[in-house]
Chain A
Amino acid sequence: MTAPPADDRLPVVIIACKVMETLLAHLVPPGLAREIRYLDYGLHRVPAKLTWSVQEAIDAVEEPSLIVLGYGLCGNGLNGIQAGQHTLLIPRVDDCIAILLGSRRRYVEEFEREPGTYYLSKGWLESGSHPLKEYQEYAEKYGPEDAEWLMDTQYQHYERLVLVTHNEEDLETYRPQAEEVAAFCRRWGMRYEEIVGSDAYVRRLVEVAAALDRADDAFVVVPPGGVIRQDQFI
């Protein structure tokens, strides 16, 4: 048995998608987290794998901790995850787009204004989760003709492609890649736009991690023994 920390607070461990890496690196003050662990992005393409990877990372933390999950519900990838001996803190969002936009409300507004939007984030670009990469993979696997048909079937209803970053710098960095994807997506009449969100959500997340009683409805808190459930997010 180790003695509890003098100030009675749980040690903080951060387990996050790589998409959050630069944001967290800037915003997590030294000394806040005992450990920060980034998991591969692109796990969102297979939510079941995400569940498994995150659960494994949680279970590997030996001491009862406040574990901050740098994820959203992510296509139900977090649904069913068990806190075990830990307390979990999670942004109450569907996915990283809301985090990059700075708030869940902003995401909902964007969504309502233009449902036919395909969002690109730095993480999705780097992990190859975008239509151009998908086409290339399909073409290699199934031949160009089937690849065209598969892509049309999946994307023909989209109207807009939006690159979302949390600052101007990332926008400059990822624009060339996003524009390549945009050029490809023009076949479905999709237009290209850019949105600079903010780091407000992650700033708040870090604040709440340091003082859990400040968690409001922008966050989900799961006590030890609890389970992450979809309805906490919906």
Chain B
Amino acid sequence: MSTIYEELATVVIEGDSKQASALVQQGLAEGLTAKEILDNGLIVGMGEVGARFKRGDMFVPEVLMSAEAMQAGLQVLRPLLASSGAKLIGKVVLGTVKGDLHDIGKNLVGMMCEGSGFEVIDLGFNVPPERFVDAVKEHKPDVVGLSALLTTTMRAMGYTIKALEEAGLRESVKVMVGGAPVDAEFAQRIGADGYGSNAVAGQELAQQLVGAA
């Protein structure tokens, strides 16, 4: 077994963009496929970042730097992933809900989903329920991802799901939720289809929801 995956995961955890990009190049030179490098190196690293963040062993700045490192690696892989002819596995509409302007987590989920083969439509932050409804009508996504950082704004996730119901669109999409204050119980209570505890979990959930896991 190559340890390049482990090294790659480590540099993602350490947030070393230069090394991430160099190791990805090295992996490709050694004959690994873009998909292998992504799944076994970069995503594994980000998965560990998510777990450590949740435990309080890593903080926002470190997570941001890890995300940059992941992004640096992904940048090398992106054209290869696209040209490998892999089909898009689905479409995700993402947004941070109304009243909340924190988009770091949502952006991470977007990056992870894109990396794993989704088309991602990012509605940004402070997105009112109506805009989610409009976006579902327009883009017909498989999955809608709702993000919130605050307990004060997580209520808006429930309102958004309600708005989708009222527009008669709830059955046509899967809804996943995530963000610091959110847990599986809350997700269930507001009628979401799933909850991701970090960006990698969110991406895996999206894959499950479209039956691609």
Contact = CB atoms under 8 A, between A and B. Distances in A.
Decide whether A and B assemble into one complex: yes
Interface in B133-171: 150-155
A141 B59 CA distance: 13
A231 B101 contact: no
A75 B152 contact: no
Interface residues on A, range: 20 to 34
A119 to B, nearest CB: 11
Contacts of A146: 61, 65
Contact of A94 (B102, B104, B150): B150
Contact of A75 (B65, B100, B181): B181
A48 B56 CA distance: 7
B151 A233 contact: yes
Interface in B15-66: 55-56, 60-61, 64-65
Interface in A31-84: 46-49, 73, 75-76
A49 B56 CA distance: 8
A154 B60 contact: yes
Contacts of B119: none
Nearest to A142: B61
B64 A153 contact: yes
B189 interface: yes
Interface string B92-104: 0000001111111
Nearest to B61: A150
Interface residues on B, range: 20 to 34
A142 B100 CA distance: 27
B4 to A, nearest CB: 26
A13 to B, nearest CB: 26
Contacts of B125: 157
B99 A115 contact: yes
Contact of A150 (B64, B150, B154, B155): B64
Contacts of B181: 75-76, 230
Nearest to A157: B101
Contacts of B186: 230-231, 234
